[in-house]
Amino acid sequence: MVKSLMGDFRKLNDVSVFPVIKQSRYNWFWKYKLYHLPFWFTYHVMWWTLTIGSFSQTANNILYSPYSVKFFFYVVFQAIGVYFNLYFLIPRFLEKGRYVQYIGLLVLTMLCTAILIVPGYYVSAWLSGYTLKELYNVDPENYAFFFQMNTFPSTVASMTLGMSVKLTKNWIKARRREQSLEKEKLETELKFLKSQFNPHFLFNTINSIFVLIHKNPVMASESLAKFSDLLRYQLYECNEQQIPLEQELTYLENFIELEKLRQDDGNFKLTIQFEQPYSGDLSIAPFVLMPFIENAFKHVSQRKDQTNWIRMNLRFDKQQLYFTITNSISVINNSSELMAYSGIGLKNVKRRLDLIYPEGHELQIQKDSEQFEVTLRLDLHKQKASEPVPMPVR
């Protein structure tokens, strides 16, 4: 949330203040936010130029006259006032709908900032050896003159500029995120339609159930019911942006059971620890966990000399979900097939998490020569009371 005013200004104009090549060469300049200094210096030079009407006179006053001390007071205290408004008052009051408190504190901030700048006139006169009458043609007792005519109007202008840039930037960011979410939703729906009728998935699952009919009719019947529920879920029950958590967990359990049919029971071990959520009012975006489980089964090792394995752990802490899945990998998988998952596939998963849970997730992926591990933390949402719970279609 906290970003620099200068960064906001650059993004609004979609123009880099410095070339990209220089940013990489002078990372320290951006790391320590030193670009704030030229921004505020330029702003006050422009303000003073508009007031005096001459740029050369402004430069002379700043560099070669006692007015430079007063200029320093303007730059420092107005910057402090603007940042206090942007990064404290706006997040804690304006964005939370506490408008009366925000307006009152904003006005108070403007008044305090303008008052703190006034001593700069007295300090500049004292350091230069002049009196206020000689330097500014104002009586020393007329303290309110500087406040009314100079410091307060300038402070209001700088605060307005900072608010305008920040609020406009936030609005543009929200609009772009909304458009990205809409685009992502359409792309996801197309991907779901494609995966729902993936001939390879359908063939393998149906073929596994067909083999079970002769070996274990009861298990074949149960697997067919799970397969039916899985397709029903994809077709009818996951069309919302957020769905009840229980539905997603049931889908994952059915998918895992079907994937187990394709594994060699004698050389494959699946360890699952699924903790049920503490309540039934949590929701989750559909198919968020699915890519990690699907890729674990897809890329699990197929070694004949030792056991191939997948370990899954799902637990909850209040509204936070913690998911870990680890699978064994072979040398072949490690060098070829996993490249797709750690490249484009992983990039797509990260992008979807960034869009749906921008500040509510943490994803860690680790890989070595023996295993591939994914750890995900999600901040789940409470299910809205008006959210209808989809009924199974029989």
DSSP 72-112: HHHHHHHHHHHHHIIIIIIIIIITTT-HHHHHHHHHHHHHH
The more confidently predicted of residues 192 and 346 is 346
pLDDT of 18 > 50? The answer is no
Task: Summarize pLDDT for 182-225 with one digit per residue, the tens.
Answer: 777 767 665 654 454 445 556 777 877 887 787 778 888 888 88
| 390 secondary structure, DSSP code | P
pLDDT band at 178 (very low <50, low <70, confident <90, very high): confident
**Nearest-angstrom CA–CA distance, 238 and 320:** 21
Kindly tell me if the per-residue pLDDT of 342 is higher than 60: no
> Confidence band (pLDDT; 50, 70, 90) for 278?
low
Whether pLDDT at 38 is above 90 = no
Give me the pLDDT at residue 210, please: 80
Please give the average per-residue pLDDT across 119-139, as a whole number.
81
The per-residue pLDDT for 275 is 79
What is the maximum span of the chain, computed from C-alpha positions, in angstroms?
107
- Please tell me the predicted confidence (pLDDT) of residue 325: 94
Output 327 or 182, whichever has higher pLDDT: 327
Rounded Cα distance between 210 and 389, Å, is 34
**Res 280: pLDDT:** 65
pLDDT of residue 51: 73
Share of the chain above pLDDT 90, in %: 9
| DSSP-assigned states of every residue in 244-288 | EHHHHHHHHHHHHHHHHTTS-TTTEEEEEEEPPPSSS-EEE-TTS
User: How wide is the angle at C-alpha 307 spanned by C-alphas 303 and 313, nearest 5°?
Assistant: 115
Could you give the percent of the chain with pLDDT greater than 70? 73
Distance of CA 195 to the CA centre of its chain: 28
Domains of the chain as residue ranges with CATH: 5-177 (no CATH), 197-382 (3.30.565.10)
* Phi–psi pair at 392, nearest 5 degrees: -60, 140
State whether residue 328 is helix, strand or coil.
strand
Confidence at 143, pLDDT banded by 50, 70, 90 = low
pLDDT band of residue 311 (cuts 50, 70, 90) is very high
The mean pLDDT of the chain is: 75
Q: What is the mean pLDDT of residues 22-37?
A: 56
pLDDT of residue 314: 92
- pLDDT value for 277: 66
29 or 82, greater pLDDT: 82
Q: Can you give the pTM of this predicted structure?
A: 0.48
Block residue for tokens 């009152």: 104
Mean of pLDDT values over 228-240: 70
- State mean pLDDT over 93-115: 90
Give the mean model confidence (pLDDT) for residues 131-149.
75
pLDDT confidence of residue 362: 92
Q: What is the pLDDT of residue 279?
A: 60
